[in-house]
Amino acid sequence: MTLFNFSAGPAALPRPVRERLADALRSDARGTPSVAEISHRGPRFAAIADELITRLRSLSGVGEAHEILLLHGGANLQFAWLPMNLAAQGTAAYVLTGHWGEKALAEAKRVGRAEAVAGSAENGYVDLPTLGLLPADCAYLHYTGNETIHGVQYPAPPDVDVPLAADLSSEFLSRPYPYSDLGFAYAGAQKNLGIAGLTVVLVRRDLLDRIPEALPKYLDYRSWANSGSMYNTPCTLAWYVALEVLRWIERMGGLAVLGQRNSARAGRLYAAIDASDFWSNPVAQRCRSVMNVPFFPADERLTMPAVAAAEDAGLMGLKGHRALGGLRASLYNALDDDAVENLIDFLGEFERTRA
């Protein structure tokens, strides 16, 4: 039986990338060092790093006005790192559309002035809020492009006249996106760009002038911009996997092709859920996530039996996040189309036999 991996992250790798990774790590008779066993300062790794940045630039469309930084620490570290660097002299504004935005704001408040200017908590995070007034000294507006747990996605970045700072963890490189309009963006690699350990940051160069002088060097974005993201030893294997994923995206036809495919298949899943009397998704149509689809059985007690039955049918990783319950299908780039069709069949079958 074929297994399909709907995990929210770390998530499925494209099959050819998995094979390349296995080949890259296999020992040969001579004991040639693998990509995980060489210096990041040597020519072999330098070629990987160069190609990785070049491909990230061409796919995201961000030019030389932005730095692309390859960091450690995940999105969680960016929750504090960003305001420490870019909001030292102003107020950081946050729009909250789910769990991750709340966490980002809580961290920003620990390091400086930060406030929520809009949020949809009172309706259970099922729609996008209307933006309120921004503070007069607004350093940036932070939004979560795609709330991975609540399944709420901005179709396009909010329209404001301050720099935008976006948590794009679970949608980076899933569709064409106006990355160059953003002041700042960050995403962990473990959803659409390979394996955990690498965090990609895009930052507009002029914003680096705002960084206070007294920060620890490690926590100053300029240390990374000035060292080709090698201020300390990079997570070399994650960089290598990211490069293989970018080559795969290109072979697949690029972001326009992936974006169309992703939205078509998410549309098929939402249509099946909406047509059902048993399964439901509460999120407003205009901001339903193309990447993460939470859904609920009419009888909450059937959640865990459904997860177990799905696993028996080869559909893995469908348990919802503990903060929300229910089930969740993550439909990242690497997932096969067959996975979604199998899930739709499973949902129909479960409804017929267990509802």
Q: Would you say 4 or 186 has its CB closer to ligand PLP?
A: 186
Tell me the closest approach of the beta carbon of residue 134 to ligand PLP, in angstroms. Answer: 22
Tell me the closest approach of the beta carbon of residue 289 to ligand PLP, in angstroms. Answer: 10
Q: Would you say 281 or 289 has its CB closer to ligand PLP?
A: 289
- Site for ligand PLP (CB under 6 A): which residue of 169, 236, 276, 281? 169
Q: Is residue 76 close enough to count as binding ligand PLP by CB under 6 A?
A: yes
Catalytic-residue membership of 100: yes
Catalytic-residue membership of 167: yes
Question: Cβ contacts of residue 252 below 8 Å, gap of 6+?
Answer: 258, 333
Please identify which of the residues 81, 167, 224, 239 carries the catalytic annotation: 167
Per-residue tokens: 84: 């420490």
Could you count the other beta carbons within 10 Å of the beta carbon of residue 346?
A: 19
Catalytic-residue membership of 81: no
Q: Is residue 9 close enough to count as binding ligand PLP by CB under 6 A?
A: yes
Q: Is residue 10 close enough to count as binding ligand PLP by CB under 6 A?
A: no
Nearest-Å Rg of the Cα atoms of the chain is 21
Please identify which of the residues 23, 81, 100, 127 carries the catalytic annotation: 100
- What interhelical angle do 15-25 and 236-252 show, nearest 10? 140
| 348 burial via Cβ count (<10 Å: 0-12, 13-18, 19+) | middle
What is the C-alpha separation between 205 and 300, in angstroms, rounded? 49
Q: Among residues 1, 156, 126, which one has the least CA distance to residue 143? A: 156
| 343 burial via Cβ count (<10 Å: 0-12, 13-18, 19+) | buried
Q: Which one of 13-21, 74-82, 330-338, 339-347 is the stretch in contact with ligand PLP (CB under 6 A)?
A: 74-82
Residue 279: strand pairing partners: 297
Tell me the closest approach of the beta carbon of residue 214 to ligand PLP, in angstroms. Answer: 25
Please identify which of the residues 81, 191, 224, 319 carries the catalytic annotation: 191
Residue 166: strand pairing partners: 143, 185
Tell me the closest approach of the beta carbon of residue 321 to ligand PLP, in angstroms. Answer: 9
- Site for ligand PLP (CB under 6 A): which residue of 14, 188, 297, 320? 188
Q: Restricting to residues 259-288, which ones interact with ligand PLP according to CB under 6 A?
A: none
Q: Would you say 144 or 333 has its CB closer to ligand PLP?
A: 144
Per-residue tokens: 191: 């959803």
Q: Would you say 172 or 279 has its CB closer to ligand PLP?
A: 172
CB burial string 128-159: b at 16+ within 10 A, e below? bbeeeebbeebbbbbbbbbbbbbbbbbeebee
- Site for ligand PLP (CB under 6 A): which residue of 100, 154, 278, 296? 100
Q: Is residue 83 close enough to count as binding ligand PLP by CB under 6 A?
A: no
Q: Would you say 293 or 344 has its CB closer to ligand PLP?
A: 293
Give the contact letters, 34-73, x = binds to ligand PLP (CB under 6 A), - = no: ----------------------------------------
Q: Restricting to residues 136-165, which ones interact with ligand PLP according to CB under 6 A?
A: 144, 148
Q: Are 202 and 62 in contact (CB under 8 A)?
A: yes
Per-residue tokens: 267: 């549309």
Q: Would you say 10 or 112 has its CB closer to ligand PLP?
A: 10
Q: Would you say 45 or 125 has its CB closer to ligand PLP?
A: 125
What is the C-alpha separation between 95 and 126, in angstroms, rounded? 14
Q: Is residue 97 close enough to count as binding ligand PLP by CB under 6 A?
A: no
Strand ranges of the sheet holding 279-280, from the earlier edge strand across to the other edge: 279-280, 292-297, 327-330
Residues 339/344/349/352 CA torsion (nearest 10 deg): 170
Per-residue tokens: 216: 């620890």
The site for ligand PLP, by CB under 6 A, has a size of 11
| 313 burial via Cβ count (<10 Å: 0-12, 13-18, 19+) | middle
Q: Is residue 12 close enough to count as binding ligand PLP by CB under 6 A?
A: no
Residue ranges in contact with ligand PLP by CB under 6 A: 9, 74-76, 100, 144, 148, 167, 169-170, 188
Active site positions, annotated = 100, 167, 191
